Amino acid sequence: EVHVVEAGGGFVQPGGSLKLSCAASGFTFSASAMHWVRQASGKGLEWVGRIRDKANSYATGYGASVKGRFTISRDDSKNTAYLQMDSLKTEDTAVYYCVNIYPSGYWGQGTLVTVSS
């Protein structure tokens, strides 16, 4: 059975940092790309970024609104992906989902990040 579980959300002031983690099981994590997607309250889905697998040199890609501020990494020995968020803005407030879009198609339940003074 596949499990994807995010952790690390919380409250942070503008300009601050936060690191989310995503623990996965039930599929070959080390051979899979992992994505981060966010959703502000009442809004649509926004692609945050992804990290590919070792065979693809752990290549990362980011959405325009977070590029240069967010960094995705992974530890295949722990089947865990991470989202380091720096220089946070109030508009980064959202539920953050970790997703293995392919091959499992599974989403985590999300973790809420609130950026406010």
Partner 1 sequence: QAVVTQEPSLTVSPGGTVTLTCGSSTGAVTSGHYPYWFQQKPGQAPRTLIYETSNKHSWTPARFSGSLLGGKAALTLSGAQPEDEAEYYCLLSYSGTSVFGGGTKLTVL
Min dist. Cβ of residue 107 to partner 1 (A): 5
The residue among 42 and 117 lying less far from partner 1, judged by its C-beta, is 42
Could you tell me how many residues of this chain bind partner 1 (CB under 8 A)? 22
SS3 string, 67-115, reads CCCEEEEEEHHHCEEEEEECCCCHHHCEEEEEEECCCCCEECCCEEEEE
Q: Which of 64, 68, 77, 117 binds partner 1 (CB under 8 A)?
A: 64
Min dist. Cβ of residue 77 to partner 1 (A): 26
Amino acid in the structure at residue 55: A
Residue of 29, 87, 90, 19 lying closest to 58 (CA atoms)? 29
Q: Which of 18, 37, 85, 94 binds partner 1 (CB under 8 A)?
A: 37
As a dihedral over the C-alpha atoms of residue 77, residue 78, residue 82, residue 84, rounded to 10 degrees, the angle is -80
* 106 makes contact with partner 1 (CB under 8 A): yes
Q: Given the rule CB under 8 A, which residues bind partner 1?
A: 35, 37, 44-47, 50, 59, 61-64, 97, 99, 101-102, 105-110
